[in-house]
Amino acid sequence: MIRYILGRALQSIVVILGVLLLVFFIVNLTGDPVRIMLPPEASQEDVERLRVQMGLDRPLPEQFVRFMAGAVRGDFGESLRYRGQPALKQVIERFPATLTLAAVTLAWSLPAALLLGTIAAVRHNSILDNLAMVLALLGQSLPSFWLGLILILLFAEQWNVLPSSGYGGPWHVLLPAFTLGAFFMARNTRLVRSGMREVLEQDYIRTARSKGLAERIVVVRHAIKNMAIPVVTMVGLDIGQLLGGAVVTETVFAWPGIGRLAIDSILQRDFPVLEADVFFIALAFVAINLVVDVLYTWLDPRVRVR
């Protein structure tokens, strides 16, 4: 078990280093970062001053070494928009907003998916099954930006019952959380239905039914219990994707999270913050997946690597 954890941790470190390498070369392949960051009317003295400040006057290999050394320490330089503030600090300050949105999204989408998927599997080929699959299809098909705009039009503009944007209280999170969770609910409903159908066809389920147990007891005590392992993996992947994949939703609802920060950094040419943002998202995603892998191995020894 310890060897497996160490191996997965080593793989995670390699992934993080790969992300840093990719970020560094993408920023440099776009052209001269200093020319991109500064407005066209900037003087040559301003260009040279910023180039020296960011260390871009040095050879590319030396720039890369300095970048990697700083990234390992969490030092991506100072924000170009908020002078004097570390870039990573900007990301950390925005993280609670994204974490709140992810938590509320998961809090409603996961139970809904478990309920709909279980009902669809138990009532296979019934009206309830077909209805659940239609909802899942809609949830996966509707673009999040389109769904968000429709919800704003109805609940904020037409009926005026919910705020359309901002991060001021519990009511502000409802529309973005529903918009973001629609896809995850739909996808997970299909996964739960498929997994539950497979479990319900196992021999021990047939044995439980042959003993005269009620269908509710068979499903709750036997089938759902054996669905726990796939659900753990599903939740872990959802958390990672929610932290890094809320860019569109945060932009539509002006939600001040790390996804919107990435877009703002691109538009404002604040590359140090963008680099810190991408690094933080990758680090969170890899860390969550590492924890999920360890939990999965602990719950199911059959996949344990010895």
* Residue 229: per-residue pLDDT: 74
DSSP string covering 139-150, please?
A: HHHS-HHHHHHH
* Residue 100: per-residue pLDDT: 94
Q: How large a percentage of the chain has pLDDT more than 70? A: 96
Fold of 94-303: MetI-like fold (1.10.3720)
List, in sequence order, the alpha helices (H) in 143-270. Answer: 144-151, 174-200, 203-210, 215-217, 224-226, 228-244, 247-252, 258-267
Q: Where in the chain is the domain with CATH 1.10.3720.10?
A: 94-303
Tokens of 43: 């003087």
Phi, psi of 256 (to 5 degrees): -80, 60
Lowest mean pLDDT among 1-5, 168-172, 251-255: 1-5
Q: What is the pTM assigned to this prediction? A: 0.86
CA 277 → CA 93, 229, 264, distances in Å?
A: 11, 31, 11
Residues ≥6 apart with Cβ < 8 Å to 220: none
Lowest mean pLDDT among 25-39, 69-83, 110-124, 126-140: 25-39
Tokens of 223: 């089938």
Secondary structure element (H or E) that encloses residue 298, with its range? helix 271-299
Quote the CA–CA distance of 184 and 119 in Å, as a whole number. Answer: 17
Q: Reduce the DSSP state of residue 168 to 3 states and report it.
A: coil
Tokens of 305: 């690597």
Cβ atoms < 10 Å from Cβ of 306: 6
Give the chain's length.
Answer: 306
* Residue 148: per-residue pLDDT: 94
Q: Report residue 300's pLDDT band, with 50, 70 and 90 as the boundaries.
A: low
Residues ≥6 apart with Cβ < 8 Å to 76: 70, 86, 87, 88, 272, 273, 275, 276, 279
Sign of the dihedral through C-alpha 69, 74, 80, 83: negative
Q: Does 304 score more than 60 pLDDT?
A: no
